[in-house]
């Protein structure tokens, strides 16, 4: 699969737009660079195609490439960020895709949509999230723009620590998912249980300390910041191998592995 990454050249916590961000806790920039580089190399070693977009000064969260849109085939749907601090990132991603002849299909300017932050997919199947960042009505447009995307349903997030669905839900395969129940309203918790044969609820430690839902799955390998022994054993039962990719510096901004990657829902770069 093709993965677009943005190096953390200007990454820092200079504002606070979620509960994880504290401007008084500095980012260790050399460590962030090492963590990002090691993660990108791990992706390449696993056979992924890693492309990069240049970071831009004044946009520290541009490194969270996955939040900037959604790619399916030759179409790029850019994000409309809720926070003005991130709004400037999107033009650079649009330019990158325009230079490669992608069709750009923006949502209406008054519809908040935060890309793969709130669209979590496996193959062509996707679950969508709303309630903290993305608007629920964004997904009416997605279903119209991307009919080949199999949207299984939508869920409402109620805990602002899990401002994106990708913080609280992750596919392992079509039947097996990780999720953190307190992030969702009761109806959404029940929907996840109905939709998937093997829903694995996360402990507070795995969700809050390790951001374990914000992982990246490649075949039977799970790339993850870290996890408890209990979750490691559970994943082993389902035949998954874990590779730990420490993300301490990025978690200071409320993101981890999956946030760093804009994954293309296609096998080819068009």
Beta carbons within 8 Å of 180's beta carbon, 6+ residues apart: 162, 167, 168, 169, 201, 202, 206, 207, 213
C-beta separation of 164 from 118 below 8 A: yes
**DSSP secondary structure, 7-21, as one string:** --TT----S-SSTT-
Query: What are the start-end ranges of the E strands in the chain?
Result: 2-5, 49-52, 69-72, 75-78, 103-104, 119-122, 125-130, 150-156, 169-171, 176-179, 198-201, 216-218, 221-224, 241-244, 262-265
What is each CA distance from 130 to 116, 263, 266, in whole angstroms?
12, 20, 24
Number of other residues whose CB lies within 10 A of the CB of residue 199: 17
Q: In order of start, what are the domains of the chain with their CATH numbers?
A: 2-265 (3.75.10.10)
**What is the pLDDT, as a whole number, of residue 71?**
94
The pTM score is 0.95
pLDDT in tens, 141-186: 998 888 888 999 999 999 999 999 999 999 999 999 999 999 999 9
Catalytic machinery residues: 164, 259
**What is the pLDDT, as a whole number, of residue 98?**
98
**What is the pLDDT, as a whole number, of residue 146?**
86
- Segments in the chain below pLDDT 50: 267-270
């Amino acid at each position: 699969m093709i993965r677009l990454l943005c190096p953390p050249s200007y990454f820092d916590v200079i504002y606070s737009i979620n509960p994880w961000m504290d401007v008084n806790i500095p980012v260790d920039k050399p460590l962030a660079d090492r963590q990002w580089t090691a993660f990108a190399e791990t992706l390449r070693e696993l056979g992924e195609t890693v492309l990069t977009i240049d970071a831009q000064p004044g946009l520290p969260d541009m490194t969270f490439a996955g939040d900037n849109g959604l790619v399916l085939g030759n179409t790029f749907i850019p994000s409309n960020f809720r926070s003005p601090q991130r709004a400037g990132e999107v033009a650079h991603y649009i330019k990158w895709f325009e230079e490669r002849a992608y069709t750009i299909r923006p949502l209406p300017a008054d519809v908040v949509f935060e890309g793969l932050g709130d669209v979590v997919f496996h193959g062509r199947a996707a679950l969508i999230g709303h309630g903290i960042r993305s608007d629920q009505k964004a997904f009416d447009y997605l279903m119209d723009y991307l009919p080949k995307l199999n949207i299984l349903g939508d869920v409402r997030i109620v805990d602002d620590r899990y401002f994106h669905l990708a913080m609280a839900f992750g596919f392992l395969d079509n039947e097996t998912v990780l999720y953190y129940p307190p992030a969702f309203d009761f109806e959404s918790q029940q929907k996840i249980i109905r939709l998937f044969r093997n829903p694995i609820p996360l402990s507070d430690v795995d969700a809050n300390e390790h951001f374990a839902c914000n992982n990246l799955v490649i075949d039977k390998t799970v790339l993850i910041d870290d996890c408890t022994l209990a979750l490691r054993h559970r994943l082993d039962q389902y035949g998954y191998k874990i590779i730990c990719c420490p993300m301490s510096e990025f978690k200071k901004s409320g993101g981890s592995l999956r946030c760093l990657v804009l994954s293309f829902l296609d096998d080819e770069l068009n």
